[in-house]
A and B are shown apart, each in its own frame.
Chain A
Amino acid sequence: MNSLSLVSVRNLSVDFWRVAGPPALSSVSLEVSPGEAVGLVGESGSGKSTLGFAIAGLLDPNDAQLSGEILFKSQNLLTTNQDDYRKIRGSEIGYIFQDASSSLNPLLKIGKQLTHPLMANGGMSKNDAMVRAKELLDMVEISQSERRLNQYPHEISGGMKQRVVIAAALSRDPSLLIADEPTTALDVTVQAQIIDLLLRLKKSLSMSLIFISHDLGVVARVADRVVVMKDGNIVESGGVEQVLANPKESYTQLLLANIPKLRHVDQSHSLSFWGTNER
């Protein structure tokens, strides 16, 4: 392993108590360097989300048994007590979930929810947090941020909700952002905007990014390195060009072959699968 890794997952196995059959992850290893964007790809059930959850400590120990090591800044999170893990999660790891519409509490105003991560663990005062919440909304390019603070989640669009979730995830300047299918539930045009935003923020905040997706087109745009997962194992990994242009594993080839057929119909429109046109 290299000592420069921000995250270093070693031989991580995850087994859900209540699910019969093979473990969700079996002896998976993964390195993420500071500033690096790693794309985790694979079909549903391949374990990519489980890996993301495991790193962020979002798996309930009552549901899942974890073994191996997850080193974050050289600290093994699996031997860290729950309270300290929670604090690390709160300050160092941002998480963006797949479905923005259910990621926010429908009964609380946007502003109030944004203050939660800021005020957690005796962070900021309520007033400071509110000021910062507005700045965060500006940062994720939400218009009329002042007004949004007083709106409820159902009053804004899905794309805007995902921006709010991103704002909350980035509120404490994390060094690692885990984005779990952040655009799957969104319209294609909105998807592209969100991806652009994520890329800009990643650069300006110099964080590492673990980008979980089954959409190889999006991953190609976002990631420096790609890790392909299947049935709880890593089947292939390497630089994004290397893996996607020249897949060694038959499974990766299969995934690539299953990118929607539209690309074959009209090559000139293939760019839409790769996000917006680079200008």
Chain B
Amino acid sequence: MKYYVLRITGGLLTIFVSSLLVFSLIRLIPGDPAAELMGLAFDPKLAHLLRIRLGLEGSFVQQYIAWITAVFHGDFGYSFINGAPVGQEIGDRLIRTVQLLVGGVIVGLLISIPAGIVSARNKGKWQDGGIMAFTTLMLSVPQFVLGIFLIYIFAVRMHVLPAGGWIDPHDNFVEWLKSMVLPWLCVGMAMSAFTSRVLRASILDAKNMDYTRTARSWGLSEKEIAKKHVYKNASAPTLTVVGLEIGYLLGGAFVIENVFAYPGIGQLTVKAISQRDYPMVQTSILIFATGFILVNLIVDLAYGFIDPRIRQR
């Protein structure tokens, strides 16, 4: 119980700190949003008025308190660029990014779980060698290169899948699915590399543990040992890595969404940073931080579910 309370408090604290960080960092980047907006028509007097209107006057602390209070009331502010409510824009894109990541993680698990099990079971044989070579390749190729490669093969050469973009599944489900395949593959393959290696190592570890030897002395077959002991015990460290990988993928969303021209929150953030659209950047980073912490929280809870020693702490 204490364990969960600590985790949740820690998570909330992290969200707070990250909100503070992004709020100050974006203001430290050289460039004045007012000047950015006015462009060639820059006029110091008007710029001052504009800054007041954008809420950029006043001390840093005042600005932060004004912003965070509004956030607590569900008001994320208005875009500097087009005046649209930030919450609305980000909400729409958040759904798409979640589609991308959830699908990608599922693909990743579908690849890494069988890959890890097969290579552990055939340790030292050609299956193991092949899978390990593949994961090494996946680990060393940056995600955007993999994305471009996939686009080149499936969109440019074979013309079977779209090179990018996103289609609303309510309009055309099949087209939506087709547009998701490459981004999902890109996310999934990148994620599977490390996960399957950790799973393989964890299975081999668990196979060499004393309790496995005990089970062997009881006359259990290797199959029963795997089912009753090895997989359960190997899942705990793997789960931790999956959590970390998902966190890493949240950052990777910026890259993948840009490669596939995918209208998600990552693409929006990149654009917003270059436009000095403070409310947009602050909110989306806050969303990413919250997502990261949520994922880790879920992993911690699941970990406690697997391991009684953690649950009872």
Contacts and interface: CB of A to CB of B under 8 A. Distances in A.
Contact of B214 (A83, A87, A103): A103
Given A107-B232, A107-B306, A107-B307, A102 B209 contact: yes
Contact of A103 (B211, B221, B236, B312): B211
A105 B236 CA distance: 13
> Which residue of A89, A107, A172 has the most chain B CB atoms within 10 A of its CB atom?
A107
A interface majority secondary structure: helix
The B contact surface, by secondary structure, is helix
A104 interface: yes
A252 interface: no
Candidate in B216, B219, B232, B233 with the most chain A CB atoms within 10 angstroms: B219
Which of B217, B228, B233 neighbours the largest number of chain A CB atoms within 10 Å of its CB? B217
Contacts of B72: none
B270 interface: no
A233 B284 CA distance: 71
Contact of B211 (A58, A102, A117): A102
A116 B210 contact: no
A57 to B, nearest CB: 9
A104 B214 CA distance: 7
A97 B213 CA distance: 9
A91 interface: yes
B83 interface: no
Contacts of A165: 214
Contacts of B306: 107
A152 B307 CA distance: 10
Nearest to A85: B219
Contacts of B216: 58, 89
A154 B308 contact: yes
B12 interface: no
A169 interface: yes
A99 interface: yes
Interface string A195-232: 00000000000000000000000000000000000000
B7 interface: no
A102 B212 CA distance: 10
B218 A168 contact: yes
Contact of A86 (B221, B232, B233): B221
Nearest to B209: A102
A220 B307 CA distance: 41
Contacts of B312: 155
Contacts of B210: 97, 99, 102-103
Interface in B181-234: 209-211, 213-221, 224, 228-229, 232-233
20 contacts: A58-B216, A58-B217, A97-B210, A103-B210, A103-B211, A105-B211, A105-B233, A106-B307, A106-B309, A107-B233, A107-B308, A116-B215, A116-B220, A116-B224, A117-B219, A120-B224, A152-B309, A154-B308, A168-B214, A169-B217
- In the A-B complex, list the 6 residue pairs whose CB atoms are closest, starting with the nearest: A90-B219, A117-B218, A95-B217, A102-B210, A105-B211, A152-B308
Given A107-B233, A107-B308, 5 more contacts: A90-B218, A90-B220, A95-B214, A120-B218, A120-B220
